Amino acid sequence: MKDPARIAPVIAELQETWEAQPDLSLPTLFGLLENRGIGWGSGDEELVQALRELRRHNPLEVRGHSRSADLEAGIPGQEVPGRFLVETVSPDHRVTIDPFRIGVRRVTADGEQPQPGVWGFERIRRCRVAEPLVIRDESGIDHRLGVVSRITLLNERPLAEVGTLDGMERRDIGERVYQLILGEGSSALLTHGLWVFNISRRAVAQRRLKWEKLLSATPGQVLRVRQAGNGEDVELGELLRIIPLEA
């Protein structure tokens, strides 16, 4: 007879994986496991390994400090272990968490892209599915950003910034999202559309460009974009930094 004491730890692995994606039905979760080769002949260790692999891509929680906070405290190894997309409800946000910064984008019903808020942080106070997302910024202030509905690993070895996007075409961007920091306080959000934000004294002016190709997109140079449809080229000012939000 096999040791029945093994059952509880395996069930705990299943529970943690399911809690990380609570919108899935149990049969759907079993289907995901089947896609990973888990079937009637699989052993307990194979099942546990597959469950942990699912949690690697969609973890139950994220912990850690910013890299700068770790260095100041002299406790390397406690930084956020990658770049994650955290989706929240009440209110709806898409929050990027990585060792370098926090990026917060409000989700709107009309599909518009408001200007993202990007800021430095000290540590993750709480980030667990079905619980409030709480992040402490560099000034020690806690920010509550909604209830976590899903966490997705975007990149296990993220870079703080991107060196160039020269020559990128819209058809090749996929699901990636970048914030482009421009001169004179302006910025842009690059997805399948290109939203440009110009800050005046009283308001933020927003416009959307339908783009086809980035002709020049290297920090230190003028950002030049070829528009879709009319094929005209437009210059958007000096590009200072390229920050990956979902990449």
CB 69 within 8 Å of CB 124: no
The answer to whether the CB of 189 falls within 8 A of the CB of 116 is: yes
Any idea which residue has 């060792």 for tokens?
Answer: 99
Nearest to 165 by CA among 239, 96, 95: 239
| Minimum mean pLDDT range among 14-23, 75-84, 97-106, 118-127 | 75-84
Q: What is the mean pLDDT of the chain?
A: 94
Contact 98, 159 (CB under 8 A): no
Give the tens place of pLDDT for each residue, 37-50: 999 999 999 999 99
Q: Cα–Cα distance between 194 and 181 in angstroms, integer?
A: 13
| Cα–Cα distance, 180 to 209 (Å, whole number) | 14
Predicted confidence at residue 113, as pLDDT, reads 85
Strand arrangement, sheet containing 204-209: 204-209, 194-199, 187-190, 177-182, 233-246, 222-227, 211-216
Q: Is 146 left (phi over 0), alpha (psi -120 to 50) or beta?
A: left
Whether 63 shows a pLDDT value over 70: the answer reads yes
Residue with tokens 């969609």: 58
Residue 11 pLDDT greater than 80, yes or no:
yes
**What ranges do the domains of the chain cover?**
4-57, 67-155, 170-246
Q: Of residues 38 and 110, which shows the higher confidence score? A: 38
Distance of alpha carbon 193 from alpha carbon 172, whole angstroms:
13
Alpha-carbon distances, residue 72 vs 23, 31, 63, 130, 218 (angstroms): 39, 45, 18, 32, 31
pLDDT tops 80 at residue 74: no
Q: Give the pTM.
A: 0.92
Q: Which residue(s) pair with 234 in the sheet?
A: 225
Across-strand partners of 86? 95, 151
Q: 73 pLDDT band (50/70/90 cuts)?
A: low
Query: How far apart (Å, rounded) are the C-alpha atoms in residues 186 and 210?
Result: 18
Instruction: Please compute the mean of the pLDDT values over residues 166-180 and round it to a whole number.
Output: 97
Predicted local distance difference test score (pLDDT) of residue 76: 61
